[in-house]
Amino acid sequence: MSRKQLGILISGRGSNMEALLKAAQDTGCPYEPVLVMSNKPDAGGLDRARGFGVAAKAIDHRTFGKDREAFERAVDAELKLAGVELVALAGFMRVLTPWFVNEWAGRLVNIHPSLLPKYPGVDTHKRCLEAGDVAHGCTVHQVTAGVDEGPAIGQAEIDVRPGDTEETLAARLLKAEHLLYPRCLAAVARGDGVRVSDEVVVDGDTIRIFAPR
């Protein structure tokens, strides 16, 4: 099996990145991480990636001032030099320009902490609690020019518990993200859909994984 060469973009600790790297250790995984990049030289995820034997580099976006596209062209050059075929955003805290999105159209994937189209953008846990939702979730989607507007690939859902705060809800949802992202990325690498609709119990939480509704 020819594995898709994967690049991962991060800005921080890279917990979703680590979930992708762990899944890739399975020889049946259809993607192979070859490069992790960050816009922040002090991002903790860079050393985590190196611990998995994956090349890790930083390009500081601040050195490009307000020229977002110039920064992205530098990132794009590194990705292509490494032979990357598929790009996963994993806590990459930059809004991408149409140039980069178009350059990687159909090969650029993100995970968002809500059940899109609910709650695009920021403060998703707060908005979920304020709305009185009984369930919260995350979505893996293709990246398009509109923020969090790309076609969904797969979703995972957890129950909102009485007494949940933004912090407890975020921590519990992160476990669902770590299950969902590798499955959806594998589906993209294979060129098909999410194969398994599943319920998984993690630390007492039932995580429901499904194809987009």
The residue from 112, 136, 141, 178 that is catalytic is 112
**Phi/psi zone of residue 41: left (φ > 0), alpha (ψ -120 to 50 degrees), beta?**
alpha
| Of 145, 146, 142, 143, the residue nearest 154 (C-alpha) | 142
Count CB neighbours of 208 within 10 A.
Answer: 16
Q: Is 61 a catalytic residue?
A: no
- The H or E element spanning position 23 is helix 15-24
Helix, strand, coil percentages, rounded to 5, for the chain? 35, 25, 40
Q: Give the angle 139-47-38 at the CA atoms, nearest 5°.
A: 55
Q: What is the β-pairing status of strands 55-58 and 31-38?
A: parallel
Q: Which residues are catalytic?
A: 112
